[in-house]
Structure 1
Amino acid sequence: MPEDIRIESLDQRKVCQRRKRYCEHLPQQLGAIPGEWRELLTRWVRRGGNSRWETLRNDAGVTGIQMAQSLLDWLLQEGWAVVVEQRQLGDWWPLSLELRNLSQLRSALGISDKEQELQRWHAAREELKSCCNENLASALLALDDLPVHRALARYDLIAALQRWENMQKSGTRRDFALAARDDTKGVSGAEWNWLEQTLDLAEFRIERHTPLLLLSASLTLTLPHGQLDLSCYSDFAAITPATLQNISAASGSIRRWQLVENRTSFERVARQRENDIGVIWLPGFPPSWWCTSVGHLLDLVPAPAQFACDPDPAGIAIALKAAELWKERNLTWQPWKMSGTDLAGLHVRKRLSDADRIQIKTLQQESMLPPPFLELIEWMLEHGEKGEQEGYL
């Protein structure tokens, strides 16, 4: 790695999970690059200069993935790019790429600012219109009456909502802003007002108010001004992240944690749990507040875990992400009720979408997937179906 490449952590966890890399110096001249690189870079610049790596890699096509990676590495080393990366299974993978000195790049590639914005808007509108849900498609059409630069900014929010929905995330407005723009305050007041007037944000699991961690366990939690006995709750407790962070000790015995994604299934499991089992609700793709809260609880009460998510590609991704908290602490974990047999036993199943199949290809690149996940993936690909855990859990 060149000595002038800087690395900055994008989170506060002990083991960094997100970072950005960039070169100290800012380049001024593009210089001579291979013609196929120039053609691909032109497409990237016309997207606006700040895009997800998956989108940019797809621009290169199936046969050009290695070329896209080589171009990314060159842009980073030459100072033209800032790369945001995420740690997955012990290695770093690109999440997004932001191009620097865009005016010089546009000039060097023969792209005018107005032309670039207009072309990006038409391409973005058609791309998102073909894959987003009905509500987002309506919001997208409403942007046609806006100036192009404002339409593009709000298109980015619609695209971020689509990614949020695909990954089944949930959290506060700040969680969404961080996911959309790498900044908890990156969405303006006017943009939030527009989103509220255009969409029902609750349908996307984006909350204005303080989120709650739902759990059921026979534990007594020690706080600065008293104790909280969770065994007094007949079903489960709801605790704010701030309260959880103030817990200094926990007494009681937990043999195993069970984490359940579907809310209905969580409530069933919580009411039927054994005395030495702790049950935690996993609200889709784990938001930052959830990871911080559960991580602190796990430091106080370490125990192995079982993860029960929907038997589908997103469910596997959700379980793998949440399991990082256990792997960071050298605690064991395993899937629960997520096998091909569980999926096959459902009376109602859904067809795999194109997005599901793309996600499966990504999952197959993961090393050391637990056997139940391998079996589940094999069953889904063979039968072309997926399911929801509330049908059996």
Structure 2
Amino acid sequence: MSSMTDVIWSAPDKDGIITCNLDVGAVSTLRGRRKRRGSKALLDQVALWPAAWRDLLKEWLKQGRARRKWTNLMSVAGGNRVNEAWQMFDVLLKAGLIEVEELRENNRWQPLWVEFLELEVVRELLGLANRLKMQKLRDDQGGTDFQNPTLAGLLSSLSEMPVERAIRRHDILVALDQWISEGYNGTRRDFALFAQGDTKAISSAEWSWIDEAMPLENIGISQHTPSIWLRAPLSLKADTGTLDLRCVPDCIGLTPQTIGNFVLIEGQVECWRILENRTVFERVARQRGSVDGVIWVPGFAPSWWKQGVTKILNLYPAPAFIACDPDPAGIEIALSVGEIWAGKSINWEPWYMDAEILSNLPKKKRLNSYDINRLQYLLTQPLPETLKELASWIMNNGEKGEQEGISFRG
């Protein structure tokens, strides 16, 4: 945009338009260049324009910089809105909202360039984001303190996004941080209502963005009402009736509310067997669920799972055998689940999580940088001897495994 002091402008004409001749050619040819603009910005006029004009202007201002080629603007308008484009050009000029550079050809002045003045204010009046305000808001968001380091990857990804998207997703992360810290659990709709005040306010793309960084189940958010999957030869009694699990041939899912209603558990199991891999859990549940209690843990146990299993353990205390992937994450999951039993002063042991089991697996995977960092931390902590030996083997050999390759026999 030209500074008003850089060039000599004419006095305003009857429409309030001022003119600056840039490169006037010979008088006989009347060729040259000029700039024109309104002498005063009349922003209050925008709201009074017909909807068709406002829609076209909105399309012009959605993308691009302030300075635009007139031919490009006409292309956006298309052949069916040529008249509206010229009308829009005229009213914008008179309202002091554009500066136009024109070339005189064939005795007529033709627009070459259009520079939108008060661009961000006009965008805002049309319902578009004011990008200057958005950038300031995004800059201010950088000072937010988050309580949960598990959100670090999602936070880092915001720097690669357009400002508007980053602002919205930052707000979602603020709500997610509070959700995790408060130990809430519920469905996707529950979280969307908590975060945005509307059960459908979070898009599928936003859900995928979160879920790819951390499984939603691990932070207390399920696609539907969450369930604890198990099999056991037990009878679960509530004030309203009895649920006999002895008739279940494979496994059954019980919601946290259902488990919360139980007041008594009858029957006999020697132990609880906790398994991380879903396929392995189902296999062991069929094999052992008529004798032992078998429960699936969905990775890093979410709060609702811990609360439900704690309630079961309160009603039927028994030792636990915990089997997770023989890898750094599996060790951490086993320790986290084991804390539930340790908190009740009940014995727990790793199960099929030792160096010999891992070393005999036919297929193993190489460690990544995250694995190595977690291992380095784990090896500084007090670990059950079996898990300490497993962690050392993984570190020394640079390999990890998965439960699906293990044959569970007892």
Check the 8 A contact 1:214/1:239 in 2, yes or no. yes
For residue 398 of structure 2, what is the aligned residue in structure 1? 384
CA shift in 2, pair 1:351/1:191, >3 Å: farther
SS in 1 for 2:201: helix
For residue 250 of structure 2, what is the aligned residue in structure 1? 235
CA shift in 2, pair 1:385/1:145, >3 Å: same
Equivalent residue in structure 1 for 2:274, among 256, 259, 263: 259
Q: What does residue range 289-368 of structure 1 map to in structure 2 within 5 Å?
A: 289-367=304-382
Equivalent residue in structure 1 for 2:161, among 143, 166, 185: 143
Check the 8 A contact 2:249/2:286 in 1, yes or no. yes
Check the 8 A contact 2:189/2:199 in 1, yes or no. no
In 2, Cα distance between the equivalents of 1:241 and 1:151?
29
CA shift in 2, pair 1:274/1:159, >3 Å: closer
Report the CA distance between 1:188 and its aligned residue: 2.0
Report the CA distance between 1:372 and its aligned residue: 1.3
Aligned length: 260
For residue 241 of structure 2, what is the aligned residue in structure 1? 226
- Higher alpha-carbon deviation: 272-281 or 195-204: 195-204
CA shift in 2, pair 1:361/1:172, >3 Å: farther
> Which has the bigger relative contact order, CA under 8 A and spacing at least 6?
1
Report the CA distance between 1:197 and its aligned residue: 3.2
Check the 8 A contact 2:228/2:253 in 1, yes or no. yes
Deviations 1:168-209 (A, max 9, x none): xx97457996xxxxxx97522479734423443676344232
TM-score (norm 2): 0.55
SS in 2 for 1:187: helix
CA shift in 2, pair 1:313/1:160, >3 Å: farther
In 1, Cα distance between the equivalents of 2:175 and 2:160?
13
For residue 225 of structure 2, what is the aligned residue in structure 1? 210
Check the 8 A contact 1:140/1:158 in 2, yes or no. no
Consecutive unaligned residues in structure 2, runs of 5 or more: 1-134, 143-148
Check the 8 A contact 2:322/2:334 in 1, yes or no. yes
In 2, Cα distance between the equivalents of 1:302 and 1:282?
18
Report the CA distance between 1:275 and its aligned residue: 3.7
One-letter code aligned to 2:245:
L
Check the 8 A contact 2:246/2:290 in 1, yes or no. no
In 1, Cα distance between the equivalents of 2:351 and 2:399?
19
Q: Does 1:281 align with 2:296?
A: yes
Q: What does residue range 153-164 of structure 1 map to in structure 2 within 5 Å?
A: 153=171
In 1, Cα distance between the equivalents of 2:246 and 2:354?
32
Q: Does 1:370 align with 2:380?
A: no
Report the CA distance between 1:297 and its aligned residue: 0.6
Q: For the aligned residues, what is the CA RMSD?
A: 4.0
In 2, Cα distance between the equivalents of 1:148 and 1:141?
7
CA shift in 2, pair 1:151/1:271, >3 Å: closer
- Higher alpha-carbon deviation: 216-225 or 272-281: 272-281
Consecutive unaligned residues in structure 1, runs of 5 or more: 1-113, 122-127, 164-169, 178-183
SS in 1 for 2:262: coil
In 1, Cα distance between the equivalents of 2:197 and 2:156?
21
For residue 108 of structure 1, what is the aligned residue in structure 2? none
In 2, Cα distance between the equivalents of 1:158 and 1:221?
34
Q: Percent identical across equivalent pairs? A: 37
Check the 8 A contact 1:175/1:288 in 2, yes or no. no
SS in 2 for 1:146: helix
In 1, Cα distance between the equivalents of 2:368 and 2:265?
44
In 1, Cα distance between the equivalents of 2:289 and 2:170?
52
Report the CA distance between 1:158 and its aligned residue: 9.8
Equivalent residue in structure 1 for 2:204, among 176, 187, 196: 196
For residue 285 of structure 2, what is the aligned residue in structure 1? 270
In 2, Cα distance between the equivalents of 1:176 and 1:185?
5
Check the 8 A contact 1:216/1:235 in 2, yes or no. yes
CA shift in 2, pair 1:148/1:139, >3 Å: closer
CA shift in 2, pair 1:249/1:119, >3 Å: closer
CA shift in 2, pair 1:185/1:315, >3 Å: farther
Report the CA distance between 1:236 and its aligned residue: 1.3
For residue 3 of structure 1, what is the aligned residue in structure 2? none
Report the CA distance between 1:118 and its aligned residue: 3.9
Structure ID, larger Rg: 2
Report the CA distance between 1:291 and its aligned residue: 0.9
CA shift in 2, pair 1:142/1:159, >3 Å: farther
SS in 2 for 1:209: coil
